[in-house]
Amino acid sequence: DQLGTYNHTKKIGNTIGEEALKVAKSIPKEDYSTLTEIEIYTKRFLIPQKDAKYYSKVWFSNKVKWVLKKYFLFKIAKFDYKYVNFPFFTVERKNLKNYGKTVVHFIKFTAGNSKTFGILTIPGELFEDLGENLISHAPTKMENTLIFQNTQDWIGYLFPLEMYIKEGGYEPFMCFSPLCGAYVENNTKKLLKEIKDKF
């Protein structure tokens, strides 16, 4: 049974927003830093709509979900995308295969005192382990880096491939491909390494 509705979600969002505004207004002006530089780095990439190659005790369950999603639910979703309350990802067709076209950004802020702060934008909902792993690769310190999820588009839950292979679960139903987490993780790490190598 569902414990909440979309209206509850909006109330939670409004409450968090109001509290965040109170905190922002409580910060003395002299504690703010003047930004001297903002740098935006972008990486675009394609994610294939295919299942992972493996065999485990959850293989059959995962395979049934994958077939249902790819050949039935995905086709229905394409007709319904105008009515969803989050940005739908772009589907690109190449050589008779579907690919999810997405993007990640890293935004680096430099303050007047030369301290840096980073924001990493991700197209989906990261599982905690993946999020911590990505932040640890940021060119700004871990404590000075935030991840903004569900930005640009929502390509699905982003989970480690090992978790999908060993545990299964409902999350693979709710994403473009079970490979989304691995592709987002690998491409984001490449972007962060490219940024680090410049400095």
pLDDT value of residue 152: 79
Distance from C-alpha of 143 to C-alpha of 184, rounded to nearest angstrom: 22
Count of Cβ atoms closer than 10 Å to residue 5 Cβ: 9
pLDDT value of residue 105: 96
Distance from C-alpha of 180 to C-alpha of 171, rounded to nearest angstrom: 11
Confirm if 100 and 81 have CB atoms less than 8 A apart: no
Distance from C-alpha of 56 to C-alpha of 187, rounded to nearest angstrom: 27
pLDDT value of residue 16: 96
- The domain ranges of the chain are 32-198
Each residue's pLDDT, cut to its tens digit, for the chain (199 residues) gives: 556 788 888 999 999 999 999 999 999 988 877 878 999 999 999 988 887 776 777 778 777 777 777 776 666 666 655 665 555 667 788 888 888 889 999 999 998 878 899 999 999 888 888 999 999 999 998 999 999 998 877 788 888 878 777 776 776 667 788 888 899 999 999 999 999 988 7
Instruction: Look up residue 159 and give its two tokens.
Output: 């989970």
Distance from C-alpha of 199 to C-alpha of 197, rounded to nearest angstrom: 5
Residue whose C-alpha is closest to residue 104's, from 149, 135, 141, 38: 149
Alpha helices in the chain (DSSP H): 6-26, 59-68, 74-80, 128-136, 161-167, 180-198
- All residues at 6 or more sequence positions from 153 whose CB lies less than 8 Å from its CB, including other chains: 86, 87, 88, 89, 90, 102, 123
pLDDT value of residue 117: 92
pLDDT value of residue 77: 61
Burial class (CB in 10 A: 0-12, 13-18, 19+), 197: exposed
Alpha helices in 27-91 (DSSP H): 59-68, 74-80
Confirm if 146 and 36 have CB atoms less than 8 A apart: no
pLDDT value of residue 175: 78
